[in-house]
């Protein structure tokens, strides 16, 4: 045997055992998004490296050390997308969606970041990403959050809580940033290594430090809220009012700052205590300044992304079982002559009802083995064909979940008999 080839670090296969949870999440998300009038778009996985450098920020962790970047044959620098927002904005600009228009859009698919993997954190992971363009007021901020809350409710997810903050405008943030640098520089001797590194790159991140030694120093730092402009304050109040009206619980976390540079005003995060240290299951915010930064018409914009792997883990952790996919009918086939008849009967059943889930008992085995498989498959009804039946042009039909007598009928009658047995159960 040849040596096996291992998969790449942090790149996972999703197998049939987990698929029901993925389908449940994706189907539910699609329904909820439809209900709010969001439209799907599909985007390339590869973009020019410059897109992400400009959008996410040169000095962010993502751009500095986590992107899968490589040169194509022409020497152009390409990057596997580490997130969807930049790509979606680029697509909106490319296709002229931002000229005095409003759009509610969503996209989903794999993202790539070269982080050290852990449960809930992978190098290829999947996001559902929702964005709205052209809406300036806090009402759309509220709608996007309500949408996510409705998704949790539809999925049956508990143990998530919402945290909010406002980062202000880029201008007020610049002022605040200077104040922070001044403050932390004055307490330079108290800072740890990480914080000193961030001091001039991204001092807001120091506020987010988990180092208990810094807690006191951080508590004394100037507050972002105090440097918000009147407009930003009103916007944030409007959002909080709308959420309260809708009965959505939240906490304002003044230390919630995002690792991507493009955010302004509203930022939020849905957090769970059920997944260890990868606790953010959905997060986003407003990025009014990003579109012009990427060469588009100035357009207000806001969005969020959820991590599909994290939601799937959470569903499983919470013991939420998605709807099953048991077959309706299992066709028991035993014998060479029977196998031809079995395939034909299975096809006839599918013809009779396109939604019917028919599992053909291929692969041999005796009656005992076939019935074991039929039982295990969860099928409701068995259609039984041995060589004996095949020779006589008949089949036997049996309900596997009720104490009914097994009946013999002509092949042509099988779909009607099966339908009757399935209907009998549905009626109970």
Q: How many residues bind RNA (CB under 7 A)?
A: 75
CB of 288 to RNA, least distance (A): 17
**DSSP H or E segment with residue 306:** strand 301-307
CB of 100 to RNA, least distance (A): 29
Residues 328-367 close enough to bind RNA by CB under 7 A? 334, 365-367
Residue 368 touching RNA (CB under 7 A): yes
Residue 110 touching RNA (CB under 7 A): no
| Stretch near RNA under the rule CB under 7 A, chosen from 158-166, 168-176, 215-223, 396-404 | 396-404
| Stretch near RNA under the rule CB under 7 A, chosen from 44-52, 61-69, 161-169, 171-179 | 61-69
- CB nearer RNA, residue 208 or residue 413: 208
CB of 413 to RNA, least distance (A): 16
Cα gap 387→338, rounded to integer Å: 5
Residue 60 touching RNA (CB under 7 A): yes
- CB nearer RNA, residue 96 or residue 393: 393
Cα gap 186→188, rounded to integer Å: 6
Residue 389 touching RNA (CB under 7 A): yes
- CB nearer RNA, residue 26 or residue 387: 387
Residue 25 touching RNA (CB under 7 A): no
Residues 118-147 close enough to bind RNA by CB under 7 A? 118-122, 125, 127
- CB nearer RNA, residue 239 or residue 341: 341
Residue 278 touching RNA (CB under 7 A): yes
Cα gap 112→86, rounded to integer Å: 13
Residue 310 touching RNA (CB under 7 A): yes
| Stretch near RNA under the rule CB under 7 A, chosen from 31-39, 156-164, 222-230, 371-379 | 371-379
- Please provide residue 331's backbone torsions phi and psi, each rounded to the nearest 5 degrees: -95, 110
| Stretch near RNA under the rule CB under 7 A, chosen from 22-30, 141-149, 177-185, 205-213 | 205-213
Tokens 């500095």 belong to which residue? 64
- CB nearer RNA, residue 26 or residue 388: 388
Cα gap 364→264, rounded to integer Å: 63
Cα gap 344→359, rounded to integer Å: 13
Site for RNA (CB under 7 A): which residue of 31, 58, 76, 194?
A: 194
Cα gap 418→426, rounded to integer Å: 12
Tokens standing for 404?
């009914």
Residue 117 touching RNA (CB under 7 A): yes
- CB nearer RNA, residue 70 or residue 76: 70
Contacts of 384 (CB under 8 A, 6+ apart): 332, 367, 395, 396, 397, 398, 406
Cα gap 335→339, rounded to integer Å: 6
- CB nearer RNA, residue 18 or residue 388: 388
Tokens standing for 47?
């973009």
Q: Which residue stretches of 299-413 are H helix? A: 308-317, 336-352, 367-377, 387-392
Q: Helices 138-155 and 230-245, interaxial angle, to 10°?
A: 30
Tokens standing for 203?
């001092």
Residues 2-21 close enough to bind RNA by CB under 7 A? 3-4, 6-12
140 burial (CB, 10 Å; 0-12 / 13-18 / 19+) is buried
Answer for the pair 211, 192: CB distance below 8 angstroms, yes or no.
Answer: yes
Residue 303 touching RNA (CB under 7 A): no
Q: DSSP character for 298?
A: P
CB of 329 to RNA, least distance (A): 12
Residue 156 touching RNA (CB under 7 A): no
């Amino acid at each position: 045997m040849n040596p096996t080839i291992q998969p790449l670090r942090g790149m996972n296969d999703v197998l049939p055992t987990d698929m029901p949870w993925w389908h449940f999440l994706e189907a539910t998300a699609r329904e909820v998004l439809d209900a709010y009038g969001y439209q799907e778009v599909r985007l390339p996985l590869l973009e020019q490296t410059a897109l992400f450098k400009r959008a996410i920020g040169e000095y962010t962790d993502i751009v500095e050390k986590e992107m899968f970047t490589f040169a194509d044959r022409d020497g152009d620098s390409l990057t596997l997308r580490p997130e969807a927002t930049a790509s979606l904005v680029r697509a909106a600009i490319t296709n002229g969606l931002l000229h005095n228009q409003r759009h509610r859009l969503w996209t989903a698919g794999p993202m790539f970041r070269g982080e050290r993997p852990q449960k809930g954190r992978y190098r290829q992971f999947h996001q559902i990403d929702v964005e709205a363009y052209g809406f300036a007021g806090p009402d759309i901020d509220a709608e996007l959050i309500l949408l996510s809350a409705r998704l949790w409710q539809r999925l049956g997810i508990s143990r998530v809580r919402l945290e909010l903050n406002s980062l202000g405008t880029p201008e007020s943030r610049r002022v605040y940033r200077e104040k922070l640098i001044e403050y932390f520089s004055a307490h330079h001797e108290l800072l740890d290594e990480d914080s000193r590194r961030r001091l001039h790159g991204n001092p807001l991140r120091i506020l987010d430090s988990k180092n208990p030694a810094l807690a006191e120093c951080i508590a004394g730092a100037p507050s972002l809220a105090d440097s918000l402009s009147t407009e930003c304050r009103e916007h944030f109040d409007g959002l909080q009012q709308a959420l309260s009206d809708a009965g959505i619980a939240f906490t304002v976390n003044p230390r919630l700052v995002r690792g991507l540079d493009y955010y302004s005003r509203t930022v939020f995060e849905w957090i769970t205590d059920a997944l260890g240290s990868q606790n953010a299951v959905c997060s986003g915010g407003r990025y009014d300044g990003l579109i012009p930064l990427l060469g588009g018409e100035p357009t207000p914009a806001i969005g969020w992304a959820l991590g599909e792997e994290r939601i799937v883990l959470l569903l499983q952790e919470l013991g939420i079982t998605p709807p099953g996919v048991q077959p309706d009918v299992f066709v028991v086939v035993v014998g060479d002559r029977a196998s031809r008849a079995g395939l034909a009967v299975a096809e006839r059943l599918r013809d009779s009802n396109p939604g019917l889930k028919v599992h053909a008992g291929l692969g041999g085995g005796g009656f005992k083995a076939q019935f074991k498989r039929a039982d295990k498959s969860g099928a409701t009804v068995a259609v039984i064909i041995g060589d004996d039946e095949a020779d006589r042009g008949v089949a036997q039909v049996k309900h596997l979940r009720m104490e009914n007598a097994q009946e013999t009928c002509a092949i042509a009658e099988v779909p009607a008999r099966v339908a009757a047995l399935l209907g009998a159960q549905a009626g109970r």
